[in-house]
Amino acid sequence: MYGQTPWAGRRGPASLAPVSALTAMRSRRFLTTSWPWRSLAFLVTSVPLIVVTAVPLGLFAAPWIILIRRLTTGRTDALEALLLLIAGAILLVGLGPYVAWPLARLEQRRLRIADSRLLRLSPSRWRRFAYAVLLVTAVPVVYGVLAVIEILVVVLALSPLLVDDGPISFAVLTIASPGQAVPYAIVGVVALVAMPYLIVATAGAHAAAARALLHTGSGEELRAELVEVSQSRARLADAFEAERRRIERDLHDGAQQKLVGLTLQLGLAQLDLPDDSPASGPVATAHKQAKELMEELRELIHGIRPQVLTDLGLPAALRDLAGQAPIPVQVHAELPSRPPEHVEATAYFVVAEALANVAKHSGATTAVVEARESKGRLIVEVRDDGRGGADPDRGTGLTGLADRAAVAEGRMLLASPPGGPTKVRVELPWTS
């Protein structure tokens, strides 16, 4: 079954590299990346920020603290309790947002440690104030639990050494000898391996909560930005296609025709020269080189936009590609009509690159190419019987395929389990 690649459409809706601590945990190479250290730095730098924020907010909440103490000792009356309650509310609501504003500005920069996405601060002062309250209430509790777990894991891992100084007690558990400590030490060492995940999960959850409260909630602004990005991408794609057609036309009608004329002139000169003439050899060499250059230029023009694609359409161009492949390739392409030029060109070059990957990396003996229309979309699929395990990190061109599909407002999906088969599927909008 197909699954959309997390790197499809790089620099578009999704990204090849993880953008936050939480998404980084899904990577198989997570422990070798910088995310565990970035997450640890985020947690460590949060501590002084919590303290600095807690001091003024604690002063503003002093009436409430006094009220709680009076209530627990039973030394207050209703009027005094009401006055303290109102005084605390006025101080917190009136002055708290002034503390939350510089905090939000600082978090806008610091949050990049655990979440590399741009944070647009919300104009709502109450959302900033809510984050400040969260930072000095719930966050210290979570960090405290994390610290206790880390200390416990370290003590377990070192228990065979620590027990020499006396028994180690954990509530109902007591370790009295090195032999008794060995199983707990093994558990502690295993738990140490999992600690980076716990650290990153904590930092990621903190960053996600901060982003949820501090990021702008203007749906209209986000929609406007998305529309502008889509329009810009469409304009760039159209400009690129137009420029490619111009280069192809200039090469075909200009450079290629002049080179053909030069080749004919050299051929005629070679015929007019006697075989024993001193100029016969150089002219023959120049004639041969001109023909080779003309063949290379023809291949270059074909790579820009093959003439068969322009004249006969995508099905014929795909069959032409299959005929040039070093392994047998079956083509099943029946389309009701010709899609737009840029969609047709995108589909062609995706298949060309996919077949090149098959020949270079897969070890396949056969491949199948399918192209069809379904629900207003052009579906192109390339399958092979190779070894599978396609990985964009190994430079197999898969990221380029995803980028090309994204520019045409489509998407690429990949299934390539170890042992094969590999299936590359591209879905493109049929209409412009």
For 395-410, the pLDDT digits (tens) are 556 777 777 787 778 8
pTM of the model: 0.48
Same domain flag for 329 and 263 = no
Does residue 370 contact residue 355 with C-beta atoms inside 8 Å? no
- What average pLDDT score do residues 40-60 get? 92
Same domain flag for 133 and 276 = no
Q: What is the 3-state secondary structure (H, E, C) of 319-363?
A: HHHHHHCCCCEEEEECCCCCCCHHHHHHHHHHHHHHHHHHHHHHC
Does residue 23 sit within a domain?
A: no
Query: Last residue of some domain: 186, 217, 248?
Result: 217
- Provide φ and ψ at 371, rounded to 5°: -140, 130
Same domain flag for 138 and 154 = yes
Model confidence over 148-165: pLDDT tens digits?
999 888 888 888 887 776
SS3 431: coil
Model confidence over 160-195: pLDDT tens digits?
887 776 777 766 677 777 777 788 888 888 888 889
CATH number at residue 323: 3.30.565.10
- Provide φ and ψ at 118, rounded to 5°: -65, 135
Same domain flag for 332 and 268 = no
Same domain flag for 76 and 172 = yes
Same domain flag for 140 and 58 = yes
Does residue 27 sit within a domain?
A: no
Same domain flag for 163 and 114 = yes
pLDDT grade, residue 14 (50/70/90)? Answer: very low
Same domain flag for 212 and 242 = no
List the domain range (segments joined by +) for residue 276: 222-301
Query: What percent of the chain has pLDDT above 70?
Result: 77
Same domain flag for 125 and 107 = yes
Of these ranges, 49-58, 76-85, 117-126, 390-399, the one predicted with the greatest mean pLDDT is 49-58
Of 60-74, 254-268, 303-317, the poorest mean pLDDT is in 254-268
Same domain flag for 397 and 335 = yes
Does residue 11 sit within a domain?
A: no
Does residue 9 sit within a domain?
A: no
Q: Could you tell me the CA-to-CA distances from 273 to 42, 48, 88, 270, 284 in Å, in that order?
A: 81, 90, 107, 5, 10
Q: Could you tell me the CA-to-CA distances from 65 to 74, 95, 144 in Å, in that order?
A: 14, 17, 22
Does residue 424 sit within a domain?
A: yes
* Number of structural domains in the chain: 3
Model confidence over 96-136: pLDDT tens digits?
888 889 999 999 999 999 998 888 888 888 899 999 999 99
Query: Last residue of some domain: 217, 252, 283?
Result: 217
Does residue 8 sit within a domain?
A: no
Does residue 6 sit within a domain?
A: no
Same domain flag for 231 and 201 = no
SS3 3: strand
Same domain flag for 236 and 195 = no
Query: Last residue of some domain: 238, 270, 301?
Result: 301
Does residue 377 sit within a domain?
A: yes
